[in-house]
Structures are given as C-alpha cells and as structure tokens.
Amino acid sequence: MDLDPAMASIAGFPPASSGPEDAPSALSLVGVSKTYGTGAARVPVLHDISLSVPAGDFLAIVGPSGSGKSTLLNLIGLLDRPDSGEIRLDGLSVGFQSRAEAARLRNRLIGFVFQSFQLLPRLTAWENVALPLLYRGAPRAERRGRALAALENLGLADRVDHRPSELSGGQCQRVALARALIGEPRLILADEPTGSLDTATGATVMDMLRDLNARRGTTIVMVTHDPDLAGRCASQIEIRDGRVQARRGAAA
Ligand SMILES: Nc1ncnc2c1ncn2[C@@H]1O[C@H](COP(=O)(O)OP(=O)(O)OP(=O)(O)O)[C@@H](O)[C@H]1O
Ligand SMILES: [Mg+2]
C-alpha cells in the first residue's frame, strides 16, 4: 500500500503505557485563540477558550454553524496549532510541536472521527479501518479480522471490500468511526459522528460510544447539532462566535 504519511497519521494508535497515570485531566485548554488568514482576509475564529475535561468524561460541544467547533476539535486533535494559549493532553503540553511530533502524539493518544470522514480513497473499507493496526505492525490476518468485526458491528459486513467512492455518506461515516475505535485510543474526538446517519444507525453509534466511555473509561469529546444527544452526554459546552457561552457537567 502506498500511503500519504500525513493522511496516514490521522488513523490513531493504541494508548501508550508511558503516559502519566495521575494526570489531573485528560484534556485542558487555557486561553486558546485561533485566527485564520491575514490582513483583510483575517477571520478570528476562537477567542480565549479555557476548558478542562476530566479523564472518562463524555463531553458534547454544541453551537451554531461556523461558531468554531471543528476548529476547536482540530486544535485538540493536533491537526492545527493555536495562535496563543496552552493545550494539555494527558498532562503533556502540546499544540506547538513539529508536525512529526504531533503525528506521533496523535497516533498514540487520539482517535479522530472527522466531519468530512477523511477516508483514503484508494483503500477499501476494511483497509481504512485497519490503518491504526497497520502502523502498529499487526499482521494482515489480525488486521483484517479485527476490521471485519468492527465493520460488522456497525452494520457494514457486506461492504468491507468497497472503496469510499462506492459507499454512501452514512456508510463512510461508520467506516471512519470504526477506524477511530479500532486502536482503542484514550481520547476520541468525534465531529458530528451521527450527522449523516438515520435515527436507528445514529442510536447504534451513540450506544457504541457510550459503551466505550463506560466500559473502558475512554474520554470522548463529540460535536453535535442534536440537542437530545448533547443532553444525554455527561458534560456539555456551547460555543458561540468562538467563545464558550455555557457549560454543564464535569468539564469546566
Ligand atoms: N482554513 C480556514 N481558513 C479560513 N477560515 C476558516 C478555515 N477553517 C474554518 N474557517 C472559518 O472559521 C469559522 C469556524 O469554522 P468551523 O469549521 O470551526 O465551524 P463549525 O462550528 O465547525 O461549523 P459547522 O457546524 O458548520 O461544522 C467559519 O467562519 C469558517 O469559515
Ligand atoms: Mg464543523
């Protein structure tokens, strides 16, 4: 397989055993700001965001379209850098490291479900799902076996050998979710993970995330437009015009 390393690095690795075990929170942001563009094209997106998410929390991020939710998730997921402020993951200061270091940390700690899926077009569904295991060095039989099981769980047993262009939006979303989960990361960042799904499939996806959160203590940060889903998460923050407007639950 020939893979673009930048794309490949989003796949996510299993948690490392070397991280500090007594970290006070899974994730914290202090005074994080982000502006896109320069000069007349300057778009200030996030203003002085501070947030502390305890390990094991299930946090929903809500807010209007364009309020900065995906930008915030990209910063937390080390896919972009803040202009100022501090981001800590598992007690480790992150956010200003090199691309290679960001990729290494991301692979070690984070499973990311993108709003736009970010599946690799030349790979089949199962190969996309198995990427985190490929970078871990798992043998092909194990990779395929585990990817097939993950896809079957999400109702895609009959689509494992299809490429993303041959799948519907909801099917791509489930493939992206399976890829984020398969490496069993400590932190899952999910941008509208049920956005392209029908009610029943969306409920299945939420059940999987809840189960992971309850059983493994995986910290989950999920962007959603659905107030019902957000209301059932342990914590919730609302972003408006790039500022945290309201908070509920353990995340402070
Ligand atoms: N790379 C970029 N360059 C310039 N502006 C950007 C860039 N990415 C995002 N923006 C702008 O930043 C603002 C926040 O975008 P973001 O994608 O974070 O919103 P969002 O809350 O996720 O919206 P949605 O609910 O529609 O997904 C928007 O006004 C968007 O146009
Ligand atoms: Mg978004």
pLDDT digits (tens, 9 = 90+) for 223-241: 999 999 999 999 999 999 9
Ligand with an atom nearest the CA of residue 42: 1
Residues with CB under 5 A from ligand 2 (ion): 70, 115
Nearest-CA residue for ligand 1 atom 16 is 68
pLDDT score at 200: 86
Ligand 1 shell residues, CB under 6 Å = 36-37, 43, 45, 63, 65-71, 115
In the chain, how long is the greatest CA-to-CA distance?
A: 54
Kindly give the number of the ligand 1 atom that is closest to the alpha carbon of 41. 4
What's the gap in Å between 230 CA and the centre of ligand 1? 21
Half-sphere exposure of 181 (CA within 13 A, CB side): 24
Q: How far is CA 109 from the centre of its chain?
A: 10
Q: How far is CA 166 from the centre of its chain?
A: 24
What are the C-alpha distances in Å from 35 to residues 46, 68, 169, 245?
7, 10, 30, 19
Task: Report how far residue 143's alpha carbon sits from residue 5's, in angstroms, rounded to the nearest whole number.
Answer: 19
Q: Are 85 and 49 in contact (CB under 8 A)?
A: yes
Q: Model confidence at 147, in pLDDT bands (50, 70, 90)?
A: very high
Q: Are 13 and 78 in contact (CB under 8 A)?
A: no
Test site for ligand 1: of 38, 49, 69, most ligand atoms within 8 A of the Cβ: 69
Domains (range + CATH), the chain: 7-248 (3.40.50.300)
Residues 6+ apart with CB under 8 A from 95: 32, 75, 78, 81, 82, 85, 86, 87
pLDDT score at 222: 97
pLDDT for 106 beyond 90? no
Best CA proximity match to 79, nearest among 175, 14, 11? 11
pLDDT in tens, 46-57: 999 999 999 999
Q: What ranges in the chain are assigned the alpha helix state H? A: 5-8, 69-76, 99-109, 125-136, 140-153, 169-182, 199-216, 227-231
Q: Model confidence at 116, in pLDDT bands (50, 70, 90)?
A: confident
Mean pLDDT rounded to a whole number for the chain: 87
pLDDT score at 102: 85
Q: Model confidence at 24, in pLDDT bands (50, 70, 90)?
A: low
